[in-house]
Amino acid sequence: MVGAFPQPFLSGYDGRRRQTVIVSLDPHAVRALARRLHAQVVGPGVGTVSTNVNVVYVQPGGGEAAVMEPVGGPTAGGPVKFTFRGDPQRLLQARPFRYRYEVGG
Protein backbone atom coordinates (compact mmCIF):
# COMPACT_ATOMS: atom_id res chain seq x y z
CA MET A 1 0.00 0.00 0.00
CA VAL A 2 2.97 2.36 0.56
CA GLY A 3 3.59 2.38 -3.20
CA ALA A 4 0.20 4.04 -3.67
CA PHE A 5 1.27 7.14 -1.71
CA PRO A 6 -0.02 9.88 -2.03
CA GLN A 7 -3.18 8.72 -3.85
CA PRO A 8 -5.19 7.49 -0.83
CA PHE A 9 -4.83 11.02 0.54
CA LEU A 10 -5.42 12.94 -2.70
CA SER A 11 -8.13 10.99 -4.50
CA GLY A 12 -9.86 9.16 -1.70
CA TYR A 13 -12.13 6.26 -2.50
CA ASP A 14 -15.33 6.17 -4.54
CA GLY A 15 -15.33 9.95 -4.93
CA ARG A 16 -15.01 10.65 -1.20
CA ARG A 17 -11.76 12.05 0.19
CA ARG A 18 -11.19 11.87 3.94
CA GLN A 19 -9.73 14.68 5.98
CA THR A 20 -6.00 14.23 6.57
CA VAL A 21 -4.00 15.21 9.65
CA ILE A 22 -0.18 15.32 9.72
CA VAL A 23 1.44 14.75 13.11
CA SER A 24 4.99 16.10 13.36
CA LEU A 25 7.42 17.50 15.90
CA ASP A 26 8.43 20.16 13.34
CA PRO A 27 5.35 21.75 11.70
CA HIS A 28 7.54 23.92 9.45
CA ALA A 29 9.23 20.87 7.92
CA VAL A 30 5.88 19.43 6.77
CA ARG A 31 4.18 22.62 5.59
CA ALA A 32 4.63 21.83 1.87
CA LEU A 33 3.46 18.26 2.44
CA ALA A 34 0.35 19.55 4.21
CA ARG A 35 -0.45 21.75 1.20
CA ARG A 36 0.04 18.81 -1.16
CA LEU A 37 -2.29 16.56 0.84
CA HIS A 38 -4.77 19.33 1.78
CA ALA A 39 -4.03 18.42 5.39
CA GLN A 40 -3.94 20.02 8.80
CA VAL A 41 -0.70 19.85 10.82
CA VAL A 42 -0.71 19.10 14.55
CA GLY A 43 2.01 18.36 17.07
CA PRO A 44 2.23 15.03 18.89
CA GLY A 45 0.00 14.81 21.92
CA VAL A 46 -2.37 17.55 20.71
CA GLY A 47 -5.63 15.93 21.70
CA THR A 48 -6.88 12.76 20.14
CA VAL A 49 -7.02 12.31 16.41
CA SER A 50 -10.40 11.06 15.19
CA THR A 51 -10.48 7.47 13.95
CA ASN A 52 -12.37 8.69 10.88
CA VAL A 53 -9.49 10.68 9.33
CA ASN A 54 -6.30 9.72 7.52
CA VAL A 55 -3.25 10.33 9.71
CA VAL A 56 0.32 10.90 8.52
CA TYR A 57 3.03 10.64 11.17
CA VAL A 58 6.31 12.25 10.07
CA GLN A 59 9.39 11.55 12.17
CA PRO A 60 12.67 13.18 11.21
CA GLY A 61 15.76 11.04 11.18
CA GLY A 62 17.99 8.83 9.17
CA GLY A 63 17.22 5.36 7.96
CA GLU A 64 14.18 6.08 5.83
CA ALA A 65 11.17 3.89 6.56
CA ALA A 66 7.50 4.05 5.59
CA VAL A 67 4.49 2.01 6.69
CA MET A 68 0.88 2.47 5.58
CA GLU A 69 -1.85 0.53 7.31
CA PRO A 70 -5.62 0.64 7.58
CA VAL A 71 -7.17 2.07 10.73
CA GLY A 72 -9.66 -0.26 12.40
CA GLY A 73 -9.10 -3.14 9.99
CA PRO A 74 -8.91 -3.41 6.21
CA THR A 75 -12.02 -1.89 4.66
CA ALA A 76 -12.36 -0.37 1.21
CA GLY A 77 -12.20 3.39 1.56
CA GLY A 78 -11.49 3.24 5.29
CA PRO A 79 -9.04 5.62 6.96
CA VAL A 80 -5.33 4.89 6.80
CA LYS A 81 -2.35 5.61 9.02
CA PHE A 82 0.91 6.43 7.26
CA THR A 83 4.10 6.53 9.32
CA PHE A 84 7.22 7.96 7.69
CA ARG A 85 10.73 8.36 9.10
CA GLY A 86 13.19 10.41 7.10
CA ASP A 87 13.33 13.69 5.19
CA PRO A 88 9.75 14.98 4.62
CA GLN A 89 10.92 16.48 1.30
CA ARG A 90 11.04 12.92 -0.06
CA LEU A 91 7.24 12.78 0.25
CA LEU A 92 6.91 15.68 -2.19
CA GLN A 93 8.31 13.62 -5.07
CA ALA A 94 5.81 12.43 -7.68
CA ARG A 95 6.23 8.74 -6.73
CA PRO A 96 8.42 8.61 -3.64
CA PHE A 97 8.15 4.84 -3.15
CA ARG A 98 7.88 3.53 -6.68
CA TYR A 99 9.53 0.11 -6.98
CA ARG A 100 10.32 0.08 -3.25
CA TYR A 101 8.11 -2.63 -1.81
CA GLU A 102 8.87 -4.87 1.10
CA VAL A 103 6.73 -7.49 2.78
CA GLY A 104 7.11 -7.54 6.52
CA GLY A 105 5.85 -9.89 9.11
Q: What percent of the chain has pLDDT over 90?
A: 23
pLDDT score of 104 more than 70: no
State residue 49's pLDDT score.
59
20: Cα separation from own chain's centroid? 8
Task: Reduce the DSSP state of residue 26 to 3 states and report it.
Answer: coil
pLDDT exceeds 70 at position 88: yes
At 99, the pLDDT band (50, 70, 90 cuts) reads: low
How far, in Å, CA of 45 to CA of 98, rounded?
32
Q: Give residue 34's pLDDT.
A: 94
What mean pLDDT comes out for the span 30-52? 82
Parallel/antiparallel/unpaired status of strands 65-70 and 80-85: antiparallel
Q: Which residues contact 52 (CB under 8 A, 6 or more apart)?
A: 18, 19, 79
Per-residue pLDDT at 9: 80
Q: Report whether 41 contacts 27 (CB < 8 A).
A: yes
The single-letter code of the amino acid at 78 is G
Contact status, residue 30 vs residue 41, Cβ threshold 8 Å: yes
